[in-house]
Amino acid sequence: MFRLAWWKWVTIVFLVYAVIAGFLVDIPRLQTGNLDHTARNLYFHVPMWFGMVFVLTLSVVHSVLYLRKNQEISNLKAVSFAEVGVLYGMLGLITGMVWGKFTWGDFLPRDVKIYGAAVAMLIYLAYFILRSAIENKEQAARISAVYNIFAYAVYIPLIFVMPRLYDSIHPGNGGNPGFNAYDLNGNMRMVFYPAVIGFLGLALWIATLRTRVRVLEQALQVAENRKQVSIEIVS
């Protein structure tokens, strides 16, 4: 049970470190805003968004590979990475809502980046509905792969482009300075960067496990179909 790949051990170590240090390491007291100790959410909220971008990018890459090579493993990886991306996106929204309540006084402040993230999650939820709505598995895989590409093409502007074109209360958008411009000091960097690596590794780990589960399910389904055919032939 302890024979894990090296990157999985790195993920475990960095995540444990990020959680412990995230609550214990001293942080600067900002002179502006109402962040105070809520700035510790930086160690969880932002890495989740990084993880979401990471796995959704891998998802669309595997959708393209499936359309080019028609390999089922790419189809399975595409949906598994998309699942983890939506999971991270939802967790990012929840942690952002909690942070927003203490920082801006509202769980859902009127902000283009928040609305864009919510719309992006709805677009990807439609991706799963599309896959399940088509009975023919090969047809569902190809149509959902095409949809995944277009979903990613819409997702990138919603998350990265629109917040820079319109006023946004998020750091680094709409004229607001990013954390590097004011109080992301050495102590916070020592926790933030390992947290990013840890959450990226966790996203990859979950997606890998989901892909293995899907491969096993398909193998069991094939075995069950062969068994059923054998029974019908004998009878």
DSSP-derived secondary structure letter, 172: T
Helices (H) and strands (E) in the chain, counts: 7, 0
* Entry field: residues in the chain: 235
- 188 falls in which pLDDT band (50, 70, 90)? confident
Rounded Cα gap, residues 148 and 192, in angstroms:
30
Residue 97 CA to residue 26 CA, distance in Å, equals: 23
Place 32 in a pLDDT band, splitting at 50, 70 and 90: very low
Predicted model pTM? 0.85
pLDDT at position 180, please?
53
Q: Give the mean pLDDT of 64-82.
A: 95
The structural domains of the chain, with segments of one domain joined by +, span 13-234
Instruction: Say yes or no: domain 13-234 is CATH 1.20.120.
Output: yes
CB atoms closer than 10 angstroms to residue 46: 19
pLDDT at 215 over 90: yes
pLDDT in tens, 85-136: 999 999 988 888 888 777 777 777 777 778 888 899 999 999 999 999 988 9
What residues have CB less than 8 Å from 52, skipping those under 6 apart?
85, 88, 89, 92, 203
Q: Can you give the pLDDT at residue 117?
A: 86
